[in-house]
Structure 1
Amino acid sequence: MGTPWRKRKGIGKCPAPWRTQVGTMSPAIALAFLPLVVTLLVRYRHYFRLLVGTVLLRSLRDCLSGLRIEERAFSYVLTHALPGDPGHILTTLDHWSSHYEYLSHMGPVKGQILMRLVEEKAPACVLELGTYCGYSTLLIAQALPPGGRLLTVERDPRTATVAEKLIRLAGFDEHMVELIVGSSEEVIPCLRTQYQLSRADLVLLIHRPRCYLRDLQLLEAHALLPAGATVLADHVLFPGAPRFLQYAKSCGRYRCRLHHTGLPDFPAIKDGIAQLTYAGPG
């Protein structure tokens, strides 16, 4: 008979030299990758801070407070801003974002670009896709010419409720600024019939960059862009809207310009606003 299994030597055991080799290799591998990890953390530290602030800490505060960040920001505005003064309300939101919680808003640098363009173009009717907390809505409303009208679209009802309160707190009534709750994909085809919008002289895309191209083509398909209309698109570099930019540059119906900026409160993260001028259907 052969040797019983339990007495066979070496079966089920790792030779001592191999165990020693594995034990010494793990720290060596970790040390080898340490410079790479440190380099990546240093190089992308701004993105890491943004991730921690906008995902981890925000989720924790949402759970602890029972409120979203937009609702917490609005509570701060109520106690620190002057009602009826949109400029002071915007400054208060900037202070909240810089000192308390990052708000993912347009910010003062991009805001100046937006207000300047609205003042230059003097649009009779503006369409904003992506109200969020109402920050960019107030910027546009401040710069509108007399008799100008702004329609702003927000898909999230809870966020829209906060934005509505902020807009009215700033002193803009429903005749001047109308907030529509719904997805841009569903609202755009109804703008002419349900909201009496026959043309949008200026459009601001500030919702989801992956939806920019779809919504631009919807605006074209429903003939809502007159020749000479201005289309502004935020966040085209971060997180980015490459398909939108490629289409705008290659279709032959737009003159394109890019305003380079940094991300609000994170200037090292490069972003930009695309400015398109519509030449017509061609």
Structure 2
Amino acid sequence: MSVPTVLVVVVAVCVLCRCLIPWLVQSNSTLALLWYDVLLEMTLDFLTRTTRPQRLLQAVSINAVRGDPDSVIKAIDHFCKHTEWAMNVGDEKGAILDLVVMETCPSTVLELGTYCGYSTVRITRLLPPATKLITVEMNPEYAHVARQVIQHAGLQDKVCVLEGESADLIPKMANMFGIQAFDFVFLDHWKDHYLPDIRLLEDCGLLAQGSVVLADNVVCPGAPDYLNYVRYNLKYSSRFYQAHLEYTRVLDGLERSEYQGD
């Protein structure tokens, strides 16, 4: 194969991967997750010998102002829109998250699913001075990157990152932190864990009347059992916020559920 032919093939592949395929998958949930969260990520990991969280952290280190949470959020959003998609809550749903946090004005906060710390930074920057956020991440690499992102944002003194399974850690929360109940809980981990974890929070007495649970990705990839539980259960008063899967046109949304007590 001649050099000009090779160049044409390379250019065609680049256009296909950077323009055509992302445009085609923007409105299809299955294709979007398969392309962004499997094929593209695996390819870039192989080519760069780094991981997506490491690449995101590098973008934060280069582009975000140290000690400025909003700058960190902006840097991650720019990276995810223009360089490489990542499974943060994103800017559109992030604005809804901000709104619910400000409405709740919590004194105790739990996040299940830290990933790289994007939503942790979004939430923590809005919390009252004395409020500390506890976030749980089962993947050690994600937790390591998240701590560095949180530190870059200057919020490390207000956040405790726990590594491990939510089912193992939730029953220990009261003794570990002296918490009677959480005012606000953000669910953004494995979707099939949403239902067992909210039930576990109930069983452990970590939800009090007025506690707000906000769940991400309830449409894409979806959490039907969880939605059925909180929407048709007298223990909860729920509201759905329609939005889009982070950085795409795929329909998604968040479910806000306020605990009414037993």
Q: TM-score, normalised by structure 2?
A: 0.87
**What amino acid is the match of 1:234?**
D
Contact preservation (8 Å) 1:153, 1:179: yes
Could you say which structure has the greater relative contact order, defined with CA pairs below 8 angstroms and 6 or more residues apart?
2
Specify whether residues 186 and 108 from structure 1 end up closer, same or farther in structure 2 by C-alpha distance, changes over 3 A only. Answer: same
Distance 1:73 1:146 in 2: 28
Is there any run of 5+ residues in structure 1 with no aligned partner, and where? 1-40
> Match of 1:9?
none
Matched, 1:108 2:94: no
Shift of 1:50: 4.2
Matched, 1:71 2:54: yes
> Match of 1:136?
119
Specify whether residues 194 and 96 from structure 1 end up closer, same or farther in structure 2 by C-alpha distance, changes over 3 A only. Answer: same
Contact preservation (8 Å) 1:201, 1:230: yes
> Match of 1:205?
187
CA RMSD of aligned residues (A): 1.6
Give CA-to-partner distance per residue, 1:122-157, whole Å, 9 cap, x none. Answer: 100110000001000001001112211110000001
Which of 228, 234, 255 is residue 274 of structure 1 equivalent to? 255
- Write out aligned runs for 1:86-97 (5 A): 86-97=69-80
Query: What is the identity percentage for the equivalent residue pairs of Structure 1 and Structure 2?
Result: 38
> Match of 2:15?
none
Give the match's secondary structure for 1:261: strand
- Write out aligned runs for 1:74-85 (5 A): 74-85=57-68
Specify whether residues 49 and 277 from structure 1 end up closer, same or farther in structure 2 by C-alpha distance, changes over 3 A only. Answer: closer
Distance 2:177 2:41 in 1: 35
Distance 2:25 2:32 in 1: 11
> Match of 1:264?
246
Which of 204, 217, 223 is residue 235 of structure 1 equivalent to? 217
Give CA-to-partner distance per residue, 1:216-254, whole Å, 9 cap, x none. Answer: 000000000010000000000111111001111222100
Give the match's secondary structure for 2:251: strand
Shift of 1:45: 5.3
**What amino acid is the match of 2:253?**
G
Give the match's secondary structure for 2:261: coil
Shift of 1:275: 0.2
Matched, 1:249 2:226: no
**What amino acid is the match of 2:248?**
F
Distance 2:191 2:30 in 1: 18
Contact preservation (8 Å) 1:119, 1:145: no
Aligned length: 239
Specify whether residues 228 and 77 from structure 1 end up closer, same or farther in structure 2 by C-alpha distance, changes over 3 A only. Answer: same
Distance 2:126 2:62 in 1: 25
Specify whether residues 280 and 203 from structure 1 end up closer, same or farther in structure 2 by C-alpha distance, changes over 3 A only. Answer: same
Q: TM-score, normalised by structure 1?
A: 0.81
Contact preservation (8 Å) 1:46, 1:266: no
Specify whether residues 246 and 49 from structure 1 end up closer, same or farther in structure 2 by C-alpha distance, changes over 3 A only. Answer: closer
Shift of 1:83: 0.4
**What amino acid is the match of 1:257?**
R
